[in-house]
A and B are shown apart, each in its own frame.
Chain A
Amino acid sequence: MTKIKPWLPLIGIAVFAVLLLVVAPAVLSMHWINNLGKYCCWAIAAVGIGLAWGRGGMLVLGQGVFFGLGAYAMAMHLTLESTAPGSLPVFMILYDPSASLPAFWEPFRSDVFTLAAILLLPVIVAGVLGYALFKRRIKGAYFAILSQALAVALAVLISSTIRETGGDTGLSDFKYFFGFVLNDDANKVMVFMIAAALLIMCLLVVWQLNRSRFGELLIATRDAEERVRFLGYDPANIKLVAYVVAAVMASIAGAMFVPIVGIITPAEIGASASILMIAGVALGGRASLFGPALGAIAIGWGQSSLGSSWPDGWVYILGMVFILVTLFLPMGLSSLFGKAKGLVWRPRETPPATLPDPAAVLEPVDESAVEEVKK
């Protein structure tokens, strides 16, 4: 691992914050602010994936599950907020005018409950799921397939419960966001700023985790799980923490996606949506701090510009980019940065590995130091 100055990432985060929170609202049109807000949501999920996959080695192919938990919690709240007291959400009346509100909707009237659900639901689900999987030492492809299957299952569940969740049509037509009128440019900018600020916060959280002892332990677990176990740690717990943090970030991302985009459907949380979330991370560089976020924003931008003007070509371009990155830059575009740096500044010459002088190795142990340690 190359040694980088500890403050460098912080400056990067600060620059990123200025660009998103000051420059973007000043120069971008409402249309692009809204789009950038959407990319920020994917970027938030991507930052979590970077932690779980890049640093922890868990190929989380089904982050749509947690994205969906946050998104639907928020969407239920906003739907109820936009519904006149005493009446039902419009889509429910369409199917059955005499229906009553399903019991699980009821608590989402509360602001506090909704916010708590967005943060705690993924903790509970990822906690239980991760505990069961990691304690049984399920990893690699098995873990990836399982998580992907869960995303598909959740999407199918929502599609099939059309009376309770809106099914494939999803939930939309949100008028208010915690009391603010959503159809108002100032409020739209505010919602964008919240998403951008959350992205910055997630970057800070992952930055701290990466530089902490936990971050070192996570890489150690990724690279030599058995060795970690034989050092007396339980690798399952270490992976569980990273997995839960990633899940919470995906949930936050989903929750902000709803007021920004104005609609949530099962298509946004299913298999292909989950894969697109991973795609940005792979493109940007999964083990780096900024790679996942920037990769997700790039993919989002490509999708809404090229994807809408030339939808047939976009899929091929995306595929081609992946083949090229996987073949030539397995650690993503951010590894280009390190390679470029290596060309400009010559790396420190590593002294050739020499046989150590046995005498040097055999210097008597400093007994006092040993005693010090034992205390």
Chain B
Amino acid sequence: MTAADGSLVVDDLKVEFDGFVAVDGVSFDAHPGEVRFLIGPNGAGKTTCIDAITGLSKGTGSVKLGDQELLGRSTQKIVRLGVGRTFQTASVFEQLSVLQNLDIAAGLHRSSWSLLRARRGVDPAIEVALEQTGLSNERETPAGILSHGQKQWLEIGMMLVQEPRALLLDEPVAGMSQDERTATGELLHRIAERRVVLVVEHDMDFMRRYASRVTVLHQGRLLSEGSVAQVQGDPKVQEVYLGTAGAVTTQAEGE
């Protein structure tokens, strides 16, 4: 897979809510093989960008995955084109076991009639996802009693069994311990080998350690873009984060 054909290209994306422009002409791209970060202060429009890419909010402009236009399609259609996303608060099916959670995710392309049969055996893709996310010993555990970090990994695992071409993660390490952050960061790097990974994050330390390239948003507009060092050296970025850069390392965002 060359970098060009599986890339996610966002061009002049604009999202408006009743006259309030949340995202104003943002353009960036993300290629397979890199862990792309989208950062910015509260209200910068990071999550809104992801919402627009995944069909949750209506946006104008263009979002292409490979040569396919995503804007204007329904959420389910966009998922079926190969875009997976996780949410700020891990969204898993708490009443179902880890295995059932993954099985539902893996069933995306099953025929409707096969849904009427009970599950037998485990899809090989599920075994791989269990191993990658370190949940092999928790397969029968109801997702509701997993630890916070494990829920986030389960959600990532649910994306992995779908083999998405692009994976968008909304604050994957919020509320995680240092060890869990490290594990998550390494996991993202391995996942990124074969697909686009776009991470919305608030945690500057996490971003410094694992970002390949960074896009900084501020008040719905693109502020800066480049490697971690370039972005950190950008005076505009320093201005926006002045006095807050240390404080925002761990706090969660309520956008």
A interface vs B, CB < 8 Å? 1, 3, 208-209, 211-214, 216-217, 219-220, 223-224, 226-234, 350, 353, 355-356, 358, 360-363, 365-366, 369-370, 372-374
Contacts and interface: CB of A to CB of B under 8 A. Distances in A.
B104 A217 contact: yes
Contact of A358 (B91, B110, B186, B190): B186
B115 A231 contact: no
A207 to B, nearest CB: 10
Contacts of A234: 76
A179 B118 CA distance: 41
Interface string B77-117: 00110001101000111111100110111011010001111
Interface string B236-252: 00000000000000000
Given A1-B142, A232-B76, A223 B95 contact: yes
Contacts of B123: 373
B107 A213 contact: yes
Contact of B163 (A350, A362, A363, A373): A373
Interface string B51-72: 0001000000000000000000
B162 A1 contact: no
Contact of B94 (A211, A223, A226): A223
B180 interface: yes
A353 B92 CA distance: 17
A369 B127 contact: yes
A358 B115 CA distance: 36
B132 interface: yes
19 contacts: A1-B96, A1-B142, A213-B114, A216-B104, A220-B101, A223-B93, A224-B94, A227-B87, A231-B79, A232-B76, A350-B141, A353-B150, A356-B150, A369-B124, A369-B127, A370-B128, A372-B124, A373-B125, A373-B163
A180 B131 CA distance: 64
A229 B187 CA distance: 25
B2 interface: no
Could you tell me the dominant secondary structure of chain A's interface residues? helix
Given A213-B117, A213-B118, A366-B131, A353 B147 contact: yes
Ranked 7 nearest A-B pairs via Cβ: A232-B79, A361-B134, A373-B125, A358-B183, A214-B115, A353-B147, A227-B91
A231 B75 CA distance: 9
B116 A212 contact: yes
Nearest to A228: B104
Nearest to A219: B95
Scoring B84, B107, B115, B142 by chain A CB atoms within 10 A of each residue's CB, the highest score goes to B115
A217 B177 CA distance: 32
B205 to A, nearest CB: 16
Could you tell me the dominant secondary structure of chain B's interface residues? helix
B179 interface: yes
Interface in B142-156: 142, 145-147, 149-150, 153
Interface string B167-190: 000000000010110110011001
Interface of B: 54, 75-76, 79-80, 84-85, 87, 91-97, 100-101, 103-105, 107-108, 110, 114-119, 123-125, 127-128, 131-134, 140-142, 145-147, 149-150, 153, 158, 162-163, 177, 179-180, 182-183, 186-187, 190
Nearest to B109: A232
Contacts of B108: 231-233
A232 B162 contact: yes
A214 B116 contact: yes
Nearest to A6: B118
Contacts of B131: 363, 365-366
Nearest to A358: B183
A216 B101 CA distance: 9
A366 B183 contact: no
Contacts of A211: 118
Given A214-B116, A373-B123, 14 more contacts: A208-B116, A208-B118, A211-B118, A212-B115, A213-B114, A217-B107, A224-B91, A229-B75, A353-B147, A355-B180, A356-B134, A358-B186, A363-B131, A365-B132
B177 A353 contact: no
Contact of B97 (A1, A209, A214, A360): A1
B75 A216 contact: no
A343 to B, nearest CB: 20
Nearest to B161: A373
B181 to A, nearest CB: 10
Given A353-B147, A353-B150, A230 B79 contact: yes
A217 B115 contact: yes
B117 A224 contact: no
A226 B190 CA distance: 27
A299 B150 CA distance: 44
A213 B94 CA distance: 16
A7 B179 CA distance: 43
Contact of B115 (A213, A350, A356, A365): A213
Nearest to B147: A353
A296 to B, nearest CB: 24
Contacts of B104: 213, 216-217, 220, 228, 231
Nearest to A363: B131
Given A213-B110, A355-B177, A369 B76 contact: no
